[in-house]
């Protein structure tokens, strides 16, 4: 099919979690680089991802999927028609969006062939498989740009340079006053709302004890939903550890990460935020596909991963019993942080 031309506005539809949205943001920068800086980029996402999307300098407008979902079919169609997009990219496929986009008359509707409903709702179909690919998630997203003129899949380094994660609010004083400018400020984000394999909290506690408190200030973050499951563990930590679990809105969490020097987490949204902000971002991963770092590693100049080097899928039926991720020792992670102290 010939390259699509005359494009003034593109709607990126990614209506899932924060980490997934983060790895879709480089599309906005890439599209403006390909088509021109006057191109308008609109993003279609869930309410709770707004602050992430709004932090990207390449996104011009945000449209709320939760609002869209409350409409009947006629309302859904009117909602998408009012956006006035020339192109919609179905990065995270949803039948309701695909159907409404067709009925709204969006001229170019791009989606994967791996969703049957795209066959009659999309007029630009791209065939690729995420499940069996060796490419990173951020690279896989770019397959949808082929009819817009993309010639080759960008490198991870190229995509990391296109985050445009620059619109960051100052951290409120009630939080910044508790941080020590003279120390390396390290965020530990032990939970994932059960969206990822998690490193055991005992390991996190050991890690804290291995790090020199005179050089490193530890800040714990997490959602309010995770607080009850973390309370006992939090009470076992040294008194100098700062507990911000359940106390930060997403915009404030982004500001905190921007103010700090490093972050350690499982494969979850804050890890990708830290990487996009150029912070030391260490992701602790299992080797099991497709959750492995080859697909979901943080991308950024100071991003890195810890993973055992073996093939294993023992936890496929019982995710909470992943022994591979817990074979990664606290001393190994402490050594990584010690190296960061020398290159802060």
Query: What is the percent of the chain with per-residue pLDDT over 70, rounded to a whole number?
Result: 98
User: How is the chain split into domains, by residue range?
Assistant: 9-160, 173-341
What is the band of 344 on the pLDDT scale with cuts at 50, 70, 90? low
- Within this chain, domains 9-160 and 173-341 share the same CATH topology: yes
Cβ 188 vs Cβ 264: under 8 Å: yes
| pTM for the model | 0.96
CB-based burial label for 200 (10 Å; 0-12, 13-18, 19+): middle
Question: What's residue 2's pLDDT?
Answer: 55
Rounded to an integer, what is the distance from CA 333 to the centroid of its chain?
Answer: 22
User: What is the CATH T-level fold of the domain 173-341, as seen in this structure?
Assistant: Rossmann fold (3.40.50)
Whether CATH 3.40.50.2000 fits 9-160 = yes
Residue-wise pLDDT tens digits, 191-227: 888 777 789 999 999 999 999 999 999 999 999 988 8
């Amino acid at each position: 099919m010939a390259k699509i031309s005359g494009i003034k506005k593109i709607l990126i539809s990614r209506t899932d979690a924060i980490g997934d949205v983060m790895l879709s943001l480089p599309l906005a920068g890439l599209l403006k680089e390909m088509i021109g800086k006057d191109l308008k980029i609109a993003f279609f996402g869930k309410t709770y991802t707004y602050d992430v999307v709004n932090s990207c300098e390449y996104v011009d407008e945000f449209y709320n999927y939760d609002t869209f979902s409350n409409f009947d079919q006629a309302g859904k169609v009117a909602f998408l028609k009012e956006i006035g997009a020339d192109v919609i990219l179905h990065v995270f496929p949803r039948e309701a969006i695909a159907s409404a986009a067709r009925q709204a008359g969006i001229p170019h509707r791009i989606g994967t062939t791996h969703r049957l409903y795209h066959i009659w709702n999309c007029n630009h179909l791209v065939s690729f498989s995420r499940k069996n690919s060796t490419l990173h998630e951020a690279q896989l997203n770019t397959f949808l740009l082929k009819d817009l003129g993309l010639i080759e899949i960008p490198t991870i380094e190229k995509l990391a340079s296109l985050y445009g994660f620059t619109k960051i609010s100052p951290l409120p004083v009630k939080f910044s006053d508790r941080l020590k400018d003279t120390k390396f400020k390290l965020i530990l984000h032990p939970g994932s709302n059960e969206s990822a394999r998690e490193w055991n909290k005992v390991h996190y506690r050991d890690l804290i004890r291995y790090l020199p408190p005179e050089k490193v200030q530890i800040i714990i973050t997490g959602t309010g939903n995770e607080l009850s499951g973390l309370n006992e563990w939090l009470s076992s930590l040294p008194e100098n550890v700062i507990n911000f679990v359940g106390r930060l809105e997403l915009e404030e969490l982004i500001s905190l990460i921007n103010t700090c020097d490093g972050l350690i987490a499982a494969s979850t949204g804050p890890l990708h935020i830290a990487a996009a902000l150029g912070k030391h971002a260490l992701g602790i991963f299992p080797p099991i596909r497709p959750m492995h770092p080859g697909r979901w590693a943080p991308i950024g100049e100071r991003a890195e991963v810890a993973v055992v080097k073996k093939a294993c899928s023992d936890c496929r039926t019982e995710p909470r019993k992943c022994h591979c991720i817990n074979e990664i020792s606290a001393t190994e992670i402490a050594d990584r942080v010690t190296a960061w102290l020398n290159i802060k």
